[in-house]
Every structure is written in C-alpha cells, then in structure tokens.
Structure 1
Amino acid sequence: MTPNPEVERSLAAMRALFGAEACSCAVVDDSGESLTFVAADGQGAAEIVGVSLPIGRGIAGWAAMSGQPIAVRDVRTDSRFARDVAEATAYVPTSVLAAPLYGADGEVLGVVEVLDPTVDQASDWVLAVLGTLAVPIAALVAGGDRGDVGETRLLELGRSVLAAVETYGAPGRR
C-alpha cells in the first residue's frame, strides 16, 4: 500500500484525541498471513512503517487474528506484546489500544493501534470510540471512495471528526 495522506492525518487526529504518544495502522497482506505497518504518527513512527509481523503476533496481530478490539494497560504483563518489535523502533509503550479494520464484506483488513493514551482506559468509551474511528480508516485502507453511498458517508464522517479534532483539539486538551 502506498502512503495515504488521509490515513496519516487520521492517525494524527486519533493521537490527539486520545492524548497518545503514537498511533499506527497496519494492513493484512494479500496472503492473509502477516501485517505490515503502513502509516504512523508520533514516537517511533518512522521506524515502524514497513515493519511486518505474522498475524497473531503482538497486540496488533492478536487484534487482527481475533477480530476484537483490545486494551492492554501494562504491556509488561501481557504475553501478546512483541517487545522486540517495539524495541526496534526505539519506543516501548506502557499501554496499547488496538482495533481491527473491517472491509465491506466483514474481513479484517488491518489494525489501528494507539500507544500510551492518556485517557482513562478503564472507561467503556475508549474502545467504542476507537472502533468507531477505525471504520473510516478501514474505508481509506480499502481504497477510499469507490462509489458506495454508505462508504462515502463513513468517509465524510471520518473527515468531519478529523477536521473537528484538528480545529478544536481533543476533549480536555484545549
């Protein structure tokens, strides 16, 4: 996947919204066996882009394999965390949020991650908001506007959220 400026802007807005140190997006390869990080914002962003790992490995890999969002408050106590991958970026987070990106037919296209968010991870809204924001990012990963009215509306919603965060800042961080 070639770099997509809208995905990158969306990650920057997501990072601001969650008060996070970094955000990243990884996509499933054509074989369905690995994830490759295609965009990132924040700490370790330049180093993580281009890194691949098998589906099921790491917190992102687990989210892709299971199709479930996840909040890991302390990566030191979670065996799914791929410490070696984080160390290679020179940024090792303490906590990670991850949510799968779904295609129109329900297949997992990839994963979005939020590293070290400052929001209350015990709150129910955190994964709900992350999952909601993952929808327009998934549409961008899938190829953007393809003429589908529902997908077009989701992209417009995502762009509106992005514009609001860029204009007004994240809640509690103005």
Structure 2
Amino acid sequence: MTRIDSFATAVGARFSLERVVHLLDHSEPVGLATEGLSTLISQFGAAAASLFYASRPPLSVRRGEMSPAISEFADRWESGVEKRIAACAWEVTAQDELRAAWQPVKGTDCVAVQSLIVRDGKVAGTLFVAFAAAQVPAGSQRDTLLHYLQAFGRIVSLVSELSLSRDRLSQLSLFYQVAQSMASTFDLGKVLDDTMQLATAVLDASASALMLIDKETGDLVFEYTHGEMGALLRKQRTRQNEGIAGWVATQGMPVIVNDVRQDQRFSPQVDARTGFLTQSVLCVPIQIRGTIVGVLEALNKRSDTGFDAEDLSLMITTANQAAVAIENAQLYQSLRDERDRIIQAQEDVRR
C-alpha cells in the first residue's frame, strides 16, 4: 500500500467514524434511516439508496432518485430478503457481514450495491445503494463504503431494538396502571374503561370494544368501548351466532382477521347501524372459571401490517385482566347483597 493509499484509508476511516457517531444522535429508527441514506447519497455520490429492516412493523426507507428500473430492482431484492428472513433464521458469518454484492441494474447504466444488516449472527435486513457506473467507488473509497454500510446497519439494528424496548416498557406501564386500578377500586366501569384505553393504545387500533353476554337474551352487548366511533358502538347488540365476535363467544377461540370482507364470519350489520367501517378485527374470549362471559376485540389496526401473533398475546393478557375485574366486581356485589340480606333479616327479627 502506498503512502497515498494509507492516507486515503485513514481519511475514509475518520469520515466513516464521524458520520457513524453523528447517527447515534437519533433515537427514532425512521429519522436515523433517512439521515444515514442521505449520507450515502451526498458523501459517496450514490444516485439512490434504500433500507429494509425486519422490525415490527417493518422499517422501509428510500432516498434519492429511484427510477422505475432501480425501484423494481430494489423491490425484488428486499422482497427476497424479507421472505428468507420470515422463512427461517438466516445465519451468516462475521466475514459475510462485511461483504456486499455488486450487480448492474438492467435497463440502466447503474450498479447496485447490496449488503446485509446482521443482528446476533442472523440477517435482520438489508441496505441497497445504486451508483451511476462512472461513480462506483473503488479502492479505499470502496472499503470506506463497506465499513460505513456495516456500521450503519448495526446502528439501525440497535436503535430499532431500543425503540421496541421502549414500546414494551410503555405497554408494561399501561398494564401496571390497569392492575393498580383493579387493586384500588371496585368500580368496574373505571377499570374496564382503563382496559379499553390500554387495548386501543398498545395495539395501535382505531377502536376497541368489550362485549358481555346478556344472561337473559344471550346477546352480545357492547358494554365498554374506546377510540373512534366508540360512543356509537356502546350498547349496540349482536346475536351470538352473528359476526366474528359471535363466533369467538360461541367457539371460545381467539381470532385474527386482517380483511373482514374476505371472512365469511363477518357480519356488516353493526357497521350499517353505526356508520363504523370495520376493516380488521382481533377478538379474544373473556372467560371466568371456564365460562365465557364475553369477548374483547380491537378494530382496525392503523399500520398496514395488520394484527399479528404478538398483538394476540397482548390481547389475551388484557382479556384476562378484564375477567379478573369482572369477577372481583361480581364477588363484591354478592358480598354487598349478602350483607344487605343479613341486615334486613335482623331488622325483621327486631319487629
């Protein structure tokens, strides 16, 4: 290596380090990805850059001049990576983490650089950079680019994990608040209102509803609601043999339906009465000592990814909390009724 090459490598390493340190200022994945891709374009002369990270929900950010041909090329590459990540644990070695594929983009004079984002030895995403043929990095600049891609990917992984941890802490905090409310009051209305607020916020849903079975008619009644159109849903009724909620109440099984129009169990009658447009549903049964007393449902996930297994797990936990609150309120009411009966009996004896 010549002295000029050594100097260029040192300058490149310093540039890469400074840029990476600056990226650490971001605590939010989208902002981090946007700045990191913009740096690739401005500092390395790239035409366009794209990032995909298999977080929840998936992170996908693009910058630069994405021509149709480049966009299609990136779509195919990222789709392939996403499918392979979803299919199995895609393990790579430490040496593979620093490698990249260099391929011409058909129909253009551009070359695509594709690298993998690795977390704990497994592929978690990918970075895609397109260069005009005359601007493709070489020599020390190429090495600097590869190190930057590796460091950038690691920071994206770190910040995404921190963001997920913050979300989970927020969820745990909300669960704790509801548990405190349950322990400090027998006001069933307040507890279940808090539960509805929890379900809507944690699941990022447009609305949530708790429906209880009317013991006299067997109907499901919207007793507690939260979110968009919640007031219109309250006290609406539906039969147990009607709709997705009715199916869950009858079968005692949770269900995720991310496109209700494609599910034969869906009934549009409640939507017709209220004007609420149901698009997706996550519904779980509420059980007390093995007996189904109602259902808890979240409506219309805001993100395009739809409800998933983790949402289902959170919803089951929320339904269990609701069941405890309902049972506590029933026991409390039974004790009050028994107390009143005893007092009345004592007064009758005195007479």
TM-score range, shorter chain: 0.7 to 0.9
Measured after TM superposition, the shift of residue 122 of structure 1 is 6.0
Structure 2 equivalent of residue 163 of structure 1: none
Measured after TM superposition, the shift of residue 36 of structure 1 is 0.7
Structure 1 equivalent of residue 309 of structure 2: 124
Q: For 1:67-110, what per-residue CA distance to the aligned partner results, in whole angstroms no more than 9, with x for missing partners?
A: 0000001011112112121222221121000000001x200010
CA distance 1:36–1:123, shift in 2 (3 Å): closer
Q: Which runs of 5+ in 1 are unaligned?
A: 148-174
Structure 1 equivalent of residue 247 of structure 2: 62
Say yes or no: does 1:71 pair with 2:253.
no
Identity of aligned residues (%): 26
CA distance 1:3–1:43, shift in 2 (3 Å): farther
Which of 1 and 2 has greater Rg? 2
Aligned length: 145
Q: For 1:27-52, what per-residue CA distance to the aligned partner results, in whole angstroms no more than 9, with x for missing partners?
A: 01114721111010012211111111
Could you tell me how far apart the structure 1 residues matched to 2:311 and 2:223 are?
Answer: 23
Return the match for 2:291 from 107, 118, 122.
107
CA distance 1:50–1:145, shift in 2 (3 Å): closer
Query: Equivalences for 1:163-174 in 2 at 5 Å?
Result: none
Paired residue secondary structure (1:37): strand
Could you tell me how far apart the structure 1 residues matched to 2:318 and 2:193 are?
Answer: 13
Could you tell me how far apart the structure 1 residues matched to 2:199 and 2:294 are?
Answer: 16
Measured after TM superposition, the shift of residue 18 of structure 1 is 0.6
Paired residue secondary structure (1:142): helix
Q: Which amino acid aligns with 1:116?
A: N
Structure 1 equivalent of residue 327 of structure 2: 142
Q: Which amino acid aligns with 1:66?
A: Q
The answer to whether the Cα contact below 8 Å between 2:287 and 2:294 also exists between their aligned partners in 1 is yes
Paired residue secondary structure (2:256): strand
Greater relative contact order (CA < 8 Å, ≥ 6 in sequence): 1
Return the match for 1:83 from 264, 268, 279.
268
Could you tell me how far apart the structure 2 residues matched to 1:122 and 1:18 are?
Answer: 8
Paired residue secondary structure (2:266): coil
Q: Which runs of 5+ in 2 are unaligned?
A: 1-186, 333-351
Return the match for 1:53 from 225, 229, 238.
238
Q: Structure 1 stretch 75-84 or stretch 134-143: which is displaced more? A: 134-143
Q: For 1:105-159, what per-residue CA distance to the aligned partner results, in whole angstroms no more than 9, with x for missing partners?
A: 2000100010012364463222122111100111223343848xxxxxxxxxxxx
Return the match for 2:211 from 26, 31, 52.
26
Say yes or no: does 1:14 pair with 2:199.
yes
Could you tell me how far apart the structure 1 residues matched to 2:229 and 2:188 are?
Answer: 17
Paired residue secondary structure (2:261): helix
The answer to whether the Cα contact below 8 Å between 1:71 and 1:98 also exists between their aligned partners in 2 is yes
Could you tell me how far apart the structure 1 residues matched to 2:277 and 2:193 are?
Answer: 21
Paired residue secondary structure (2:265): coil
Could you tell me how far apart the structure 2 residues matched to 1:69 and 1:35 are?
Answer: 16
Could you tell me how far apart the structure 2 residues matched to 1:79 and 1:145 are?
Answer: 36
The answer to whether the Cα contact below 8 Å between 1:71 and 1:121 also exists between their aligned partners in 2 is no
Q: Which amino acid aligns with 1:136?
A: Q
Could you tell me how far apart the structure 2 residues matched to 1:97 and 1:107 are?
Answer: 20
CA-atom RMSD in angstroms: 2.1
